[in-house]
Structure 1
Amino acid sequence: MTLRPEYSLGHSEYNAFLFAAVGEEAVGLPLTVLTALSRLGIDPWQEAARLSDLPRETAARVFAQTIARLPEGDWKASDAEAIAARLVDSLPLRSAPPIPSTAVRRGGGSIEMNNSRFPTWLAWGAVFVVALVLTLYLQPDRNLESPQGRETTTQR
């Protein structure tokens, strides 16, 4: 499965949000949103997409609750709303539109068309046909020899 462009690290519209620092951990290292969400078991790109679809104030409140679940570093739990508001400002206004499904409807049902497998099956089919033709072509041709003629040459 190919990674959607908005979730790609190199081209993600969520990079500014995901790589922004929440604060500094107790050990002195910066804690990014990406790391914080991953530690909480939340998919960072899906969460960024979900938050970007919400109004800014709502997104900030929701994200503040997420920040409050983190162990405190150089920030206090009471600072979660201010941190969340700062971070949510780096989100795009809306997430990218969903990619349409590849299902093709015929006769009321749906047939899943996986375009990436068709060339593979076509190539394997061609290999099979070539192997079959070569096998038949390389078989010894004994049509001109008679079984009696072969016996008489060996008996002589």
Structure 2
Amino acid sequence: MKMHPLTERLIAEHGATPLTLATLDAFLARPGDQVMLFSGDPVRFPEGLDVAVVLPELRAAFAGRFGLAVVTPEDEEAIARRYGVQRWPTLVFLRDGQYVTALSAMRDWDDYLRDVAQALQSPVTRAPGIGIPLVSSSSGADAHCH
């Protein structure tokens, strides 16, 4: 699937990195704050295009404090699972390659300013959905957790 022209504009005009599974490790090695845009299919999630238009303005409002990446449609589902993204559009905030937080859906400008400021001040944390799944055993009376 080809990227929409508005998301391609983030790459061409605003220096966003096109993010694929193959380029993810190199992107995660970047220092500082980074934001990944999961825009989703523009037909199913037209708000993703709105976020793509607003994102450069948000970065400018924070004096370019964060880098940008646009997750490519081909790898969006796989990368979304890694970060627990379940809604489109979503902005995932990283710091020094580690998960900070995610902001889903389009927001009013003042809400974006508040939420992005908070994200840029938040500590790193574990991404939702990452970890070892717990499996319970129902075979016998000895099935319990230690």
Calculate the TM-score normalised by the size of structure 2.
Answer: 0.25
Q: Which one has more relative contact order, counting CA pairs under 8 Å at least 6 apart?
A: 2
Larger radius of gyration: 1
TM-score normalised by length of structure 1: 0.24
